[in-house]
Structure 1
Amino acid sequence: MAITFDKALGVHQHTVGVRARRSEVIASNIANADTPNYKARDIDFNKAFAAAKSKQGGGMHITNERHISGGNSQFAELGFQVPDQPDTGDGNTVDVQKEKAAFMQNGLEYQAGIGFLSSKFSGLRNAIKGGQ
């Protein structure tokens, strides 16, 4: 009976990937806090997680070299945030305090996912060694 990494690692491999992408988006928001007309963006975690899980099944396959590829859907779940604050006149929708809090929360969830993956790998290592 063969075991695959998808079965062994469960959903944790996907959550870590989504959290890493979300960190990039939040960092971009913070970096552009003073850019006129910049619109804050965020990743819908549930949509991104579902997309990451569906990719494990293989996704689309090109059967002919003339076919158009499915494209890069890495940020297909990326959308604009609804601003909580009134427009300050420059068209920028970034709330720096909110973004910093989201970045910290996302970082904690990323670390938790890494911890889960680490424990999964430890379990696999023990199973291979025979529990020495």
Structure 2
Amino acid sequence: MILSFDNAFGVHTRALSLYAQRSSVLASNLANADTPDYKARDIDFRSALGQAEAGLGKARHLQATHEKHFGVSGNEGDWSAETLYRTPLQPSLDGNTVDVQVEQAAFTDNAMRYMASLRFVTGRVQGLMTALRGE
């Protein structure tokens, strides 16, 4: 029997890791909104998720240590994306490129997408638990 998280959860496991990383970057931008010469950063979520799907990111593979262990397939692991500098709509005089309204909107959108993926994964786990119990 092969247990594949890719088949069970789809892209959502990788997306959760990327959403968490993006949330941290956006929170850092908001925290430094008044810091002179601070440059706003973000990640290109679509390209990062595409790389994660293609298996180009960092992956940790499980290793069977006994011949009777179940096989595990997939590229589950710690997915990360490159942080890029955001092009400002209107830079301030002190060199700070953080636009608070843009950052708040991006943070809220990211949080909603994170919660949607988390609810999907939670639903799948509950479905698998029900199947295992035979209810």
TM-score, structure 2 length as denominator? Answer: 0.78
2:127 maps to which of 116, 123, 131: 123
* Aligned-partner residue type, residue 121 of structure 2: L
1:42 aligns with 2:42: yes
Residues 108 and 128 (structure 1), Cα distance of their counterparts in 2 relative to 1, 3 Å cut = same
Once the two structures are TM-superposed, the CA of residue 55 in structure 1 deviates from its matched residue by 5.4
Please tell me whether the aligned partners of residues 6 and 56 of structure 1 are also in contact (alpha carbons under 8 angstroms): no
* Aligned position for 1:74: 80
Count of aligned residue pairs for this structure pair: 117
Residue by residue over 1:16-51, the C-alpha shift from the partner in whole angstroms, topping out at 9 and shown as x without a partner, is 111110000000000111111111000100122123
Q: 2: distance between equivalents of 1:56 and 1:107?
A: 23
* Aligned position for 1:108: 112
Please tell me whether the aligned partners of residues 9 and 117 of structure 1 are also in contact (alpha carbons under 8 angstroms): yes
Residue by residue over 1:69-109, the C-alpha shift from the partner in whole angstroms, topping out at 9 and shown as x without a partner, is xxx98342x11111112x32111100001101111111011
1:84 aligns with 2:69: no
Please tell me whether the aligned partners of residues 57 and 79 of structure 2 are also in contact (alpha carbons under 8 angstroms): no
SS in 2 for 1:3: strand
**Structure with the higher strand share, 1 or 2:** 2
Q: 2: distance between equivalents of 1:125 and 1:73?
A: 26
**RMSD of the TM alignment (CA)?**
2.2
Please tell me whether the aligned partners of residues 51 and 57 of structure 2 are also in contact (alpha carbons under 8 angstroms): no
Gaps of at least 5 residues in structure 1 are: 60-71
Q: 2: distance between equivalents of 1:28 and 1:114?
A: 23
Q: 1: distance between equivalents of 2:26 and 2:58?
A: 29
Please tell me whether the aligned partners of residues 14 and 79 of structure 2 are also in contact (alpha carbons under 8 angstroms): no
Identity among equivalent pairs (%):
45
Once the two structures are TM-superposed, the CA of residue 123 in structure 1 deviates from its matched residue by 1.3
* Structure 1 residue ranges (4+ consecutive) displaced by more than 4 angstroms after TM superposition: 55-59
Residue by residue over 1:111-131, the C-alpha shift from the partner in whole angstroms, topping out at 9 and shown as x without a partner, is 00100000110111112111x
1:52 aligns with 2:58: no
Deviation larger for 48-57 or 87-96:
48-57
